Amino acid sequence: MSSPITKHCNEEVSIDPLSRRETKAEMTTPKFELFGETYMFVETFSATVISPLPITDQVWVKTDTGDETQIPAFGIAFRKSHKMCKYELRQYRVDGSFSVFKDALIVNATTGEYEVNLDRKTVIIPAFLTVLFPNTSMAFYFRAMPVPNFFSTIFILLCCTAFVSFFVLPWGFKSGYVFDEHKYMWLTYFASRIGSFTCIKWIKRRSQKFDNALRRIIKSLKF
């Protein structure tokens, strides 16, 4: 079922609701939950397209306040008289304060086409293997996606362990290499390296789930 937008009085900004003063009514979507966190889209910009500039991915628009300006089209197809809206994404905390992700959603309100414009974080394994296997050695995810605190701790420990053990292993060749004398170091290296690849795979899967869930919610809203 579609959810209507209700009217209430990509940089992340933390805001305390007690210190925020509303100067005008805001167009907002109903709050929704993802991965245990509460979110809401808030309209921050609305304008009518005067002239699209597809070659430069720009559009000339006239805002609802009467100002004319040129802004990015974010890869969305706009034509003259189409309505363009921008929304920020608010991520709420337990105490009622929230973080703001500016220009998180760009919408062509006339056609319904939209673009998620959230900034992403990068997770990468600092090793030569990253050059050989970039798809399995790095991952990207939206900054708005909640990630357990233990993930960063575990991932850093695994990468540090693999790094140290990798540089310790060559010392075994100085006086004739005996595998049995270094088998635990080899085991430590391979176990930590496999663990770091597992972390990359896990964050990729989580990121895909978050992306799919967010897009399903966006499609259910009437912009």
* Chain segment 6-61, per-residue pLDDT in tens: 333 344 444 444 334 343 456 788 899 999 999 999 999 999 999 999 889 999 99
120 or 7, greater pLDDT: 120
Nearest C-alpha neighbor of 38 from the set 182, 217, 200: 217
Please name the residue that has the structure tokens 């309505």. Answer: 83
Query: Does the structure show a pLDDT above 70 at 157?
Result: yes
Nearest Cα residue to 82 out of 106, 102, 98, 100? 106
Q: Which of 172, 165, 170, 174 is nearest to 192 (CA)?
A: 165
The percentage of residues in the chain with a pLDDT greater than 70, rounded to a whole number, is 82
Residue 82 has pLDDT above 70, yes or no: yes
Place of tokens 């008289």: 81
Through-space distance between the first and last CA atoms of the chain, rounded to whole angstroms: 14
Q: Is 88 helix (H, G, I), strand (E, B) or coil?
A: strand
**pLDDT for res 166:** 82
205 has a pLDDT exceeding 70:
yes
pLDDT at 161 over 90: yes
- Band of residue 174 on the pLDDT scale cut at 50, 70, 90: low
